[in-house]
Every structure is written in C-alpha cells, then in structure tokens.
Amino acid sequence: MQQERNLYYPYSEYLKKKYGEKVYKLPVNLPVSCPNRQGGREGCAFCSPLGTGFEAADSSVSVSGQLALDRERIERKYHAHKFIAYFQNYTNTFLPLQQFSAYMKEAAETADIVELAVSTRPDCIREDYLDVLEDLHQKKGVEITVELGLQTPNYHTLAAVGRGHTLAEFIDGVLRVRCYGFDVCAHVILNLPGDDLSDAVECAKILSALGVQVVKAHSLYIARGTRLCKAYENGTIALCDKEEYLERTAAFLDHLDPSIAVERLFARAPEDDVVFCNWGTSWWKLRDELEEKMGLGGHFQGRCFSYLDGAALES
C-alpha cells in the first residue's frame, strides 16, 4: 500500500509547511446559536440540539479559559508550541458584531495562538465581520481561516435536510472570504440520503474551481434527537453502505485539486450520542481501508484534475 502522503494531501502537512512545525487546533465554544434554528425552524435534519462542539468546554467558560484548558492537555501530550483557536460550534458569526469582535480579540491576544479558525454558515458571511478578522490579522499577526458548511452541492438534498441555503450562498461566501486573502475550509458530507457518487465528484470539482485551501469531508453520523434520527429509525431514509462510501471518497479525491489540504474524511462522534456512525467501524480502520482501496485501484488526489482552464479546447 502506498503511503498516505502519496494518496492525498494531509492537513497536518499543510500546517507544517505554513508554520514550520506541528500546529494543533484548540476548540472554543461560544454562547451562540444558528439562524436556521430561529423563528420556529428546527435547524438542519442532521444537526444535534447540542451542535458539534462536543470536544469543547462549556460556553460559559471564557475564551481564554477554554484555550488554556485545551492547551495544557495538547501541550502535555504532543509537546506543541503553536495553536489555532477553533471557533467550532454552531454559527460563530451569528452574534452581534461587537460581541463577535470581543471574542476574536480575546483569542488573538492569547499566547502562541497563530490562527483563528471561524466556523460559520455561508449565508452568514458579511464584510463587517470579515473586517474584524482582517483588523486582527493586521494588528495581532494571526492568520485567518473561515470554515464554511456546504455539505453537498445538490440543491434537492440541501432542501431535504432543511439546510436553509443552496450552492449559491456557498459560492458567495467563498468569494467574499477570498477577497480578504483568508483561507477557506469547506465542510462536506459525502453520503447524505439522496446523494450519489456523481454528487461527490461534482462537490470536488466545485471546491477546486473555487480555490478553497482546505476540505473537511465527513461520513454522515446520525445523532440522537435529530429529525434524521427519526427518519432512520422509521426506515424512511436509506444510507449507502460502507463500500459505496469508500468509492465516493476515492472519486472525490481523484477529482480534487491536489493543492487542497484534506483535514478529515470520516466522522468522529461520541458513541453514546449517535444511532449510526461509520458503519460500526472506527474512523482509523475506515481510513486504512480507503488507503488500501486507493492504492490497489490507482486512485490519488488530483488523478482526474483536468477539467478546468478551458479543458475542452484543443491544444
């Protein structure tokens, strides 16, 4: 089997090139919700009422306090010296601008924080919020990454899971962030009910055409207490099997620009909080199976990256 670095471009390598050493994310949980949960809306069908910040401390703890707690653990385990403040849970730009600015400033002024990574929805990107991040970049020297959830380019699937936006908002969000020169990390799910292999390929092509720097792909996990959980338990949705997911992931990577760093390819979630995750297999075993499949099948990131820049024109 080929080594991982030959199959796809790992995010850890991307960070090492960027900062000259290993860098680790420290998750931060802010007291914020999501516009898709306002006005009687229930949020995305796959989103737990607790959001996705299960690795972070309680939002009642200050930003600097959360960073200090996580840093102590990571520093002791990995001997790390540089860190990313990762605002992970819910929609972090869905805050009053002044409050958003204060949280970002507190993180930027914390020792050894070299980057702010701000996770949000593509329909919650506005220039005054980006101006706050640009000001911190200029004055505090921190790098900026904005993490945007696309999930799928298929607008039928986006509507079915109640995502509340389409591909257009994602394109708009990426273009606005890129105007500032910030990195973009796109979040995608390659096995949402209703999607197939062609959606995975189209997703890779769209991310490549938009020039994002990082992608975080997830295998769908079904959290308790979600609309998707009810549908799964009622048998009204069908999930692809493990082999199909590996096939989609290999095809996704085949079509992905080889300069895009891959942060994740499989979900990670607490077992007690889900009814389905990774076909009952650990994520690292799935990774090994994927790498074996890619090695045997001649797959590698960028293998089919030949569709941009007037590809249909004769030379």
Helix pair 127-140, 97-108: axis angle to 10 deg? 20
- Residues 81-130 have pLDDT tens digits of 999 999 998 899 999 999 999 999 999 999 999 999 999 999 999 999 99
pLDDT computed for residue 40 by the predictor: 66
pLDDT band at 132 (very low <50, low <70, confident <90, very high): very high
Residue 37 has what pLDDT?
A: 78
Q: Which has more pLDDT, 41 or 267?
A: 267
How many residues are present in the chain? 315
Identify whether the C-beta of residue 214 lies closer than 8 Å to the C-beta of residue 265: no
| pLDDT tens column, 227-265 | 999 999 999 998 999 999 999 999 999 999 999 999 999
Burial letters for 172-196: b for 16+ Cβ neighbours within 10 Å, e otherwise? ebbebbbeeebbbbbbbbbbbbebe
Residue whose structure tokens are 């009642």: 60
- The closest alpha carbon to 227, from 277, 155, 161, belongs to 161
Q: Which residue do the tokens 């936006």 mark?
A: 165
Mean pLDDT across 2-6: 50
Q: What pTM, to 2 d.p., does this model score?
A: 0.93
Q: What is the pLDDT of residues 187-216, one digit of tens each?
A: 999 999 999 999 999 999 999 999 999 999
Predicted local confidence at residue 4, as pLDDT: 43
Q: 170 vs 43, 74, 219, CA distance in Å? A: 17, 33, 20
Q: What's the pLDDT tens digit per position in 217-230? A: 999 999 998 999 99
Per-residue pLDDT at 314: 81
Give the C-alpha distances (Å, rounded to integers) separating 209 from 36, 58, 243, 277, 306. 28, 38, 28, 30, 11
What's CA 278's distance to the chain center, in Å?
A: 17
What's the pLDDT band for 3 if we cut at 50, 70, 90?
very low
